[in-house]
Amino acid sequence: MLELETGIDRSGVPDTVLGQEEASRRHAEALSKYFHRPSNKRVNYTKLAIASPFLCPWMQLVQEWNKASDGPLPFFVLRDQEALAKLRLALERKFNVHSIGLPPAALIPVLLTLKTRGNPGDNALICLPLRTDFRTNRQNRLATVHGPVYVEPAHPDPHGKERTVLRAQHLKTLKRLRNRRVRQKRRLQRANPGVLVRIPQANNRALVEQQLKRMADLWLPATPATVRQQCSRECFGYVTQAGFSLSEGGVNGIGYVTARGLEKLFKICTKGTVKVLHTGSKIHV
């Protein structure tokens, strides 16, 4: 935590080798833990509109926000102190963000301060609000309503039935192979009475690994169809680290947003108000 507050922690910076290796390690650990749970104990992230709950797909996010660009754009974190200072002035309405000339492939580091309860956690989505969200928030304050401003609706799971059918077929195949081995053992036992017959164990490793790979791709696709439009609010960034700050007396988060998404945010709200969606919740905070 001391390294994080002093600015020398590079484990969460997405364009550094350490940050990418650390993200890959955490992704592998979280993915293994997720698929070790039984299917009825897993969170269905498809219904929660979370495309990648354990890894921030920075490259795909930047690509989707720069559709007009030719070829892939290698992203990088903006470290230009002059440009960052102008962005701070833009949040204070003292500078025009469009005159800064932000690189299209740049990721802008941001510090988020939550105004409500809860901790968004790592890999939370940073989304663009709608003007109706501000109107609803103002009406809730006037009516002393303490509920959430916006709740993500449940999304359909297009692979639910396919997973059920695939699992039933896999169990049926394993049962058929087991019955075949039982019949083989009985046949050998009848041919050699009085002799203990042993048959080799079933070699189903390749079949099981293939099934696991197919089921994993149906639960969490390696390459999501879209990242920007994964929920009902446009996603333009991710929270890499979040937690309670004793010095601030509240929950803060460090994240990165795309340059094009930030420019669009200033067209909606010049104060820098965003919506944050936790990977395990439907409530936008």
pLDDT digits (tens, 9 = 90+) for 95-154: 888 888 889 999 999 999 988 888 888 899 999 999 998 888 888 888 888 888 888 898
Q: Lowest-pLDDT range, 7-16, 17-26, 150-159?
A: 7-16
pLDDT at 3 over 90: no
Based on the structure, what is the number of domains in the chain?
2
Examine the domain organization and report whether 27 and 83 are in the same domain.
yes
User: Is residue 285, in this structure, part of any structural domain at all?
Assistant: no
Task: Kindly report the pTM of this predicted structure.
Answer: 0.85
E-assigned strand segments in the chain = 76-77, 106-113, 124-127, 150-151, 235-245, 250-258, 275-277, 283-284
What are the tokens at 200?
């080799």
User: Is residue 200, in this structure, part of any structural domain at all?
Assistant: yes
Among 194, 218, 242, the domain-final residue is 218
Q: Are 106 and 75 in contact (CB under 8 A)?
A: yes
Instruction: Provide the pLDDT for residue 247.
Output: 80
Examine the domain organization and report whether 250 and 199 are in the same domain.
no
Examine the domain organization and report whether 59 and 79 are in the same domain.
yes
Among 201, 218, 235, the domain-final residue is 218
User: Is residue 4, in this structure, part of any structural domain at all?
Assistant: yes
Please write the tens of the pLDDT for every residue from 209-267: 888 899 999 999 888 889 999 999 999 999 998 888 888 788 899 999 999 999 999 98
Residue-range definition of the domain harbouring residue 192:
158-218
